[in-house]
Structure 1
Amino acid sequence: MSLEKQALTVTINGKKIGPVEVPVAMPMIDFLHEYVNLTGTRFGCGQGVCHACTIVEVHPDGTTTESRTCVLGAHYFNNKSIITIEGQAKYDKLGQLEQLSPIQQAFIDHFSFQCGYCTPGFVAGATVFLDGLKRQPVKRANLESAIELALNDHICRCTGYVRYYEAVKEVALSTPGYVID
């Protein structure tokens, strides 16, 4: 018995991948790990509940949304653009790290992780939230509740929520135009 395969083309972290023949039923997380060797995205519950597997989906209009790679098949992303945890930072031409994204740096500064397993999903969720603030800033008085709402579905078994939220709050407050009085 052979697996049915279809061609898949996807842009990951700004780089076009494919077309590559991929099993039709393969979850995106398996494609990331097995085909493109991007292992930063974590497999958690396998049911899309914990959000550890979350990546950023970039739409043609430039907006972003969260996508859970354990429940979405690789072919869902055919001809789409995504950003994994590996694509958040900036690298030089030799592939050496130049600079972390603002949210990655804030997570480090706030020690916003314990075991770190859920961190890639939280980074993706925070990135989408912060990206949304570019288009629709939040009132300072509503910032904390907006962060809680945006990251509410992400589960941290080590209960590092306060540090995650503080890091996101710092980036939102320090980025001009994200928060209004």
Structure 2
Amino acid sequence: MTLATKPLSLTVNGRAVGPVDVPEGMMMQGFLHEYLNLTGARMGCGQGICHACTVIVEHEDGTLQEMRTCITGAHWFAGRTVRTIEGIAERDGDGTITALSPVQEAYIRHFSFQCGYCTPGFVIGASVLIDRLKREPVAREDLEQTITEALDKHICRCTGYVRYYEAVREVILDTPGLVTG
């Protein structure tokens, strides 16, 4: 029996990928792990509930969207631009990390994670939230609810929620223009 494949081309972390023949039913997480050796999108629940597997889809209008890779087929991403957790920090030409993102730095300062398994998903979620607030600032009195709504779908089995939320709040309050009033 031959596995049916289809060519896939997309952009991942700023680099063109493909066309690559990929099995038609393969989930994006499998493609990232097996074809690109990008293992930061974690397999948590395998049902799209925990959000440990999320990546960022960068839309043509500049908006960002979280997308779960354990339940979304690789071919859904055809022609799209994707950023994984490996693409969040700034890197030089040879791939060496030169600077962490403000979210990553805040998570470290707050020691937001315990085991760290869910951390990539939380970084992705917070990064998408902060990007949205650059276009649509939130009123100060609505900040806590906004953070909760953005990160609530991410599951941390070690219960590091308070520290994740504190770190995100710090980044938002320290970044001019994200909060009004």
* 1:47-81 C-alpha deviation (Å, 9 max, x unpaired): 00010101111001010111000000000000001
SS of alignment partner, residue 25 of structure 1: coil
Task: Summarize the alignment of residues 3-152 of structure 1 with structure 2, pairs less than 5 Å apart.
Answer: 3-152=3-152
Gaps of 5+ in 2: none
Q: What is the TM-score when the length of structure 2 is the normalising length?
A: 0.99
How many Å separate the matches in 1 of 2:105 and 2:16? 27
3-state SS of paired residue (1:112):
coil
d(CA) in 1 for partners of 2:100, 2:106? 9
Name the residue aligned to 2:156: 156
- 1:166 aligned counterpart, secondary structure: helix
Structure 2: distance between partners of 1:96 and 1:125: 24
Q: Secondary structure at the match of 1:71?
A: coil
Structure 1 gaps, min length 5 = none
TM-score (norm 1): 0.99
Q: Distance in 1 between matches of 2:22 and 2:94?
A: 29
Distance 1:30 1:103 in 2: 26
Cα distance in 2 for partners of 1:87, 1:42 equals 15
How far apart, CA to CA, are the structure 1 residues paired with 2:114 and 2:60? 35
1: CA distance, partners of 2:49 / 2:93:
37
State the 1:112 CA deviation: 0.8
Distance 1:94 1:8 in 2: 25
Q: Which of structure 1's runs of 4+ aligned residues deviate more than 4 A?
A: none
- Percent identity at matched positions? 60
Displacement of 1:31: 0.4
* Superimposed CA distance per residue, residues 96-124 of structure 1 (whole angstroms, 9 cap, x where no aligned partner): 11000111111111101000000001111
3-state SS of paired residue (2:120) = helix
> How far off is 1:95 after superposition?
1.4
Task: Give the Cα–Cα distance (whole angstroms) in 2 for the partners of residues 175 and 17 of structure 1.
Answer: 33
Distance (whole Å) between structure 2 residues aligned to residue 149 and residue 94 of structure 1: 37
Name the Cα RMSD after superposition: 0.6
